[in-house]
């Protein structure tokens, strides 16, 4: 069985979702850690230092390319899976079980993912794109801390970011468990632990992210 | 339990054949004993229809004791009705109250085409079994059952997976119409035993291949299958199938068509 074939069967596609998803989870952790430097409340000194490192380190910039490749694969494969799975039941049920047989978020990964994608487009266009643009063609790196303060003084932006964090949290609750189930790790012995870590991660990381716009908006930090 | 009789309104899917476009038909049944099974209630309905010179409702059934998996009915949005770990033939009418309306649909999945009314064609499951759900044994006398020692908990787990009756409720309940729980049960009960070893590397690969070919959806770990399975087949079996598959494709010696 060739590699290409191994990854194109239904389990193979799940494996693609799982590997890329786990990589994105790792990225979230790093991103969260770096951005949490704003909470030192030192006018962004520590944060800008970390952001400067992330934006200029050769290895990290190379990984960034991989990150985008994985992100795109995750999105394209995810949407394709959603469409394909929907087409497997052409005549739909008159009455459905709803939440009686499965929690809503497990059935709504496509929708939650799409919401996160919308968030991501706005998010990148506010920070990442202008910064890389300025770095390459303009007058050098932007002060991302100042930029955060400007953006997060606008009410709709803050609300939009909170919405993005909520969608992310629900997506992660299922995504974390699901990716490890796909790798076959959710055995009797590890299931409880994996679920616990997954739920913890899905609450803590989006919560820390959500506190960032709030901290600026409510003037918790200068 | 106290016995009494009830009357019901039934909205049942009627479809002449595989090609025809189906529709719901509404019936009223009276004098249904709460001691009856759901299928016996359908027997009453069908006798009523025969007496009226109408075509009875076609539905699948065989053992009527919860072990064959034939009795596929999607009842008020639930595979085999609302009871946990229960087939339609074991669902009893004491669940319902006088005057209730019950919507009964066939399993709906493109891989389970409707043959007539509530009967669907589940031969796609047979073809998945043929692709890998077997073991090679020598012919001749049966070997002594105790010649091969098997750990107790492995035997138990294998037995639990072997309890799958191939009813298809997992596919019916899955929003993706995926057959992963069924395939995982069939792979698991063999993978856990030494007898399953010779074909181990090709079994999961070939069965998954056939499952895809039959047009089932992909598993997204929703878990509705586990909730609706009459035999309590656990999602841990799907994790095991995923491991079997990974083991097969990464080991480099899995060969198949
Ligand atoms: S896994 Fe359960 S629901 Fe699926 S076919 Fe087997 S017994 Fe039926
Ligand atoms: S008729 Fe055999 S399980 Fe219901």
B222–A contact, CB cutoff 8 A = yes
B23 is a domain residue: yes
**What is residue B252's predicted lDDT score, i.e. its pLDDT?**
65
Residue B23: closest C-alpha in chain A: A94
> pLDDT-based confidence at B257, cuts 50/70/90?
very low
Mutate to test the interface with A, among B106, B177, B245 (most CBs of A within 10 A): B245
Instruction: Tell me if chain A has a CB within 8 Å of the CB of B154.
Output: no
Contact A7, A47 (CB under 8 A): no
**B216: which chain A residues are within 8 Å (Cβ-Cβ)?**
10, 88
Q: Is the CB of B229 under 6 A from ligand 1?
A: yes
| pLDDT, position B254 | 53
Q: Phi and psi at residue A29, in whole multiples of 5°?
A: -60, -45
pLDDT exceeds 50 at position B21: yes
Closest ligand, as measured to the CA of B125: 1
Provide mean pLDDT across the span B141-159. Answer: 90
Q: Which two tokens stand for residue B142?
A: 């049966």
Closest in A15, A91, A102 to B227, CB measured: A102
Half-sphere exposure of A202 (CA within 13 A, CB side): 21
Mean pLDDT of B187-200: 93
Percent of chain B surpassing pLDDT 90: 88
| Distance between CA atoms of residues B46 and B65, nearest Å | 20
Please tell me if residue B12 touches chain A, with a CB cutoff of 8 Å: no
Poorest-pLDDT segment among A70-74, A112-116, B135-139, B248-252: B248-252
Q: Is the CB of B165 under 6 A from ligand 1?
A: yes
Q: What is the DSSP letter of B92?
A: B
Specify whether B80 is located in the same domain as B132: no
Q: Whole-angstrom Cα distance, residue B179 to residue B225?
A: 9
DSSP B6: E
Cα angle B195-B198-B204, degrees, rounded to a multiple of 5: 95
Same domain, B95 and B160: no
Which residue range(s) make up the domain with B49?
5-105
* B131 shares its domain with B226: yes
Helix (H) or strand (E) holding B75: strand B74-75
| Both tokens assigned to A15 | 């494996």
Q: Tell me which H or E stretch contains B162.
A: helix B152-162
Tell me the longest C-alpha to C-alpha distance in chain B: 64
pLDDT tier at B65, thresholds 50, 70, 90: very high
Q: Is the CB of B166 under 6 A from ligand 1?
A: yes
Q: Does residue B181 lie in a domain region?
A: yes
Separation between Cα atoms, residue B69 and residue A38, nearest integer Å: 60
- In terms of domains, do B101 and B127 share one? no
Quick check: B108 contacting A, CB < 8 Å? Answer: yes
Instruction: Answer with the residue of higher pLDDT: A140 or B70.
Output: B70
Tell me how far apart the alpha carbons of residues A174 and A135 are, in angstroms, rounded to a whole number.
Answer: 37
Whether B253 has a pLDDT exceeding 80, the answer reads no
The CATH number that applies at residue B76 is 3.10.20.30
Closest by CA to B104, choosing from B158, B190, B25, is B25
Q: Is residue B257 part of a domain?
A: no
Taking an 8 Å cut-off on Cβ atoms, the answer to whether A187 and B178 are in contact is no
Asked whether the ipTM of the predicted complex exceeds the cut of 0.85, the reply is: yes
Residues 170-189 of A with CB under 8 A from B: 174, 177-178, 181-188
Q: What is the CATH number of the domain that holds B132?
A: 1.10.1060.10
B94-99 long-range contacts (CB < 8 A, ≥24 apart) are B94/B1, B94/B34, B94/B35, B96/B6, B96/B8, B96/B34, B97/B6, B98/B6, B98/B7, B98/B8, B99/B6, B99/B7, B99/B8, B99/B9
Do B127 and B157 sit in the same domain of this protein?
A: yes
pLDDT greater than 50 at residue A116: yes
Are both B66 and B163 inside the same structural domain? Answer: no
When divided into structural domains, chain B yields a total of 2
pLDDT for residue B249: 86
On whether both B128 and B210 belong to a single domain, the answer is: yes
d(CA B123, CA B112): 8
Determine, yes or no, domain membership for B36.
yes
Question: Which tens digit of pLDDT belongs to each residue from B216-245?
Answer: 999 999 999 999 999 999 999 999 999 999
Within a domain: residue B110?
no
Strands B74-75 and B78-79: antiparallel
Q: Is residue B96 part of a domain?
A: yes
Give CA B126 to chain center in angstroms: 12
- B51 vs A6, higher pLDDT: B51
CATH match for A3-90+101-217 among 3.40.470.10, 2.60.40.10, 3.20.20.70, 1.20.1300.10: 1.20.1300.10
- Cα–Cα distances (Å) from B145 to A222, B121, B134, B149, B150, in that order, read 76, 36, 18, 9, 10
- Residue B190 predicted with pLDDT over 70: yes
pTM of the model: 0.94
Contact between residue B116 and residue B17 where contact means Cβ atoms under 8 Å apart: yes
Comparing CA positions, the residue from B160, B158, B162, B184 lying closest to residue B171 is B184
A138 against B90, higher pLDDT: B90
Band (pLDDT 50/70/90 cuts) for residue B17 is very high
Q: Is residue B200 part of a domain?
A: yes
**Domain locations along chain A:** 3-90+101-217
Is the same domain home to B47 and B77? yes
CB B234 within 8 A of CB B226: yes
| Helix residue ranges per DSSP H, A36-154 | 45-56, 58-86, 104-107, 109-126, 128-136, 144-151
Mean pLDDT rounded to a whole number for chain B: 94
């Amino acid at each position: 069985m060739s590699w290409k074939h191994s990854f194109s069967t239904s389990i193979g596609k799940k494996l693609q979702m799982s590997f890329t998803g786990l990589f994105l989870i790792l990225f979230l952790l790093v991103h969260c850690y770096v951005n949490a430097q704003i909470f030192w409340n030192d006018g962004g000194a520590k944060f800008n230092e970390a952001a400067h490192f992330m934006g200029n380190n050769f290895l990290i910039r190379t990984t960034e390319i991989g990150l985008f490749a994985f992100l795109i694969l995750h999105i394209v494969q995810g949407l394709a899976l959603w469409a394909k799975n929907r087409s497997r039941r052409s005549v739909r049920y008159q009455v459905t079980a709803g939440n009686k047989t499965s929690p809503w978020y497990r059935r709504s990964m496509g929708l939650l993912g799409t919401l996160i994608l919308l968030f991501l487009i706005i998010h990148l266009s506010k920070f990442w794109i202008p910064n890389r643009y300025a770095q390459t063609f303009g007058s050098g790196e932007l002060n991302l801390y100042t930029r955060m303060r400007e953006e997060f003084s606008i009410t709709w932006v803050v609300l939009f970011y909170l919405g993005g964090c909520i969608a992310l949290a629900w997506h992660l609750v299922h995504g974390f468990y699901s990716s490890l189930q796909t790798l076959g790790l959710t055995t009797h012995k590890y299931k409880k632990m994996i679920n616990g870590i997954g739920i913890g991660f899905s609450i803590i990381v989006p919560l820390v992210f959500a506190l960032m716009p709030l901290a600026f908006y409510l003037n918790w930090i200068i | 339990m106290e016995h009494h009789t009830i009357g019901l309104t039934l909205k049942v899917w009627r479809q002449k054949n595989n090609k025809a476009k189906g529709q719901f038909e509404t019936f009223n049944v009276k004098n249904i004993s709460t001691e009856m099974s759901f299928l016996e209630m359908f027997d009453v309905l069908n006798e009523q229809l025969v007496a009226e010179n109408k075509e009875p409702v076609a539905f699948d059934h065989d053992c009527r004791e919860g072990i064959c998996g034939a009795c596929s009915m999607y009842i008020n949005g639930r595979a085999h009705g609302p009871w946990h770990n229960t087939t339609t033939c074991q669902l009893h009418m004491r669940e319902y109250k006088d005057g209730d309306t019950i919507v009964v649909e066939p399993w709906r999945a493109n891989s389970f085409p409707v043959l007539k009314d509530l009967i669907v064609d589940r031969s796609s499951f047979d073809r998945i079994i043929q692709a890998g759900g077997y073991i090679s044994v020598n012919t001749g006398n049966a070997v002594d059952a105790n010649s091969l020692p098997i750990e107790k908990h492995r035997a138990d787990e294998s037995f639990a997976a072997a309890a799958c009756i191939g009813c298809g409720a997992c596919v019916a309940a899955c929003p993706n119409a995926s057959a992963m729980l069924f395939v995982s049960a069939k792979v698991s009960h063999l993978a856990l035993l030494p007898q399953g070893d010779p074909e181990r590397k090709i079994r999961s690969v070939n069965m998954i291949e056939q499952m895809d070919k039959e047009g089932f959806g992909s598993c997204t770990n929703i878990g509705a299958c586990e909730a609706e399975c009459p035999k309590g087949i656990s999602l841990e079996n799907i994790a095991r199938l995923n491991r079997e598959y990974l083991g097969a494709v990464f080991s480099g010696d899995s060969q198949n068509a």
